[in-house]
Structure 1
């Protein structure tokens, strides 16, 4: 199976409502620059926060399907919640759009590299595995 982890693009500065922060133009461009690295997916998961939804919307033409919003992909959720979400699906190819620290922690856990990998804004990682469990995935590339 293949997994793409995409961190949202650069967003407005934090004010009082983290969930409502929108992408800035540079963030939109950075996300669109990653589209060519993505193949159509059979499962598309996204945080319900505005900047993640906007990122997913930009990737939707390339992904080929509608994103499904899931609260377990918000920044404050434990990595175990995102891992359980992945394990609950049987999709051959999955795209997850979300936030740090969650996505970087998930990436590190899946490849067994505690704290050594980091997804920057609009960062995209591609992993492959037979099943999604800690240390069971191979990082194919990180952009």
Structure 2
């Protein structure tokens, strides 16, 4: 099992709603930089938050990789989502190599929970940070942090 966690790129500070915030020019460059680290990876599916900045991030990654697989919008990848709830959905998936495009604080909490087995040590995920996790099973404390890259 391989799981990549990508936080969206830098977003504008304000919009009518949090869900409507767009990526900035800097954010788009950050995502392109992070996407370069995904070249050649055997991603089967991209799961993405419904928030605009995450959708834009996923589209940049899709284009950069020439990814022709499924890009699926899921409601359980928003900033305040609960890792336990996300695991209920992830457990039902057949894919073994997934990219999740999401937000803080959720992405840090999920990554920390999968690696450490608790939420006390979230992964430090800046905008467009990319974490790579490996493991036999997608479960709390059973994944290894294979890499954590932050945009330059």
Same fold (TM over 0.5): yes
Q: Please give the TM-score of this superposition, normalised by the length of structure 1.
A: 0.94
Match of 2:74 in 1: 70
Determine if the alignment matches structure 1 residue 29 to structure 2 residue 29.
yes
Q: Please give the TM-score of this superposition, normalised by the length of structure 2.
A: 0.88
Gap runs ≥5 in structure 1: none
Match of 1:98 in 2: 102
Q: Flag as ranges the 4+ runs of structure 1 deviating above 3 A.
A: none
Contact kept in structure 2, 1:2 and 1:94, CA below 8 Å = yes
Distance in 2 of aligned mates of 1:136 and 1:16: 40
Match of 2:7 in 1: 7
Gap runs ≥5 in structure 2: none
Match of 1:119 in 2: 125
Question: Larger % of helix: which?
Answer: 1
Residue 116 of structure 1: how far off its partner (Å): 4.7
Distance in 1 of aligned mates of 2:61 and 2:42: 10
Contact kept in structure 1, 2:110 and 2:122, CA below 8 Å = no
Pick closer, same or farther for the CA change 1:78–1:36 going to 2, 3 Å: same
Residue 21 of structure 1: how far off its partner (Å): 0.2
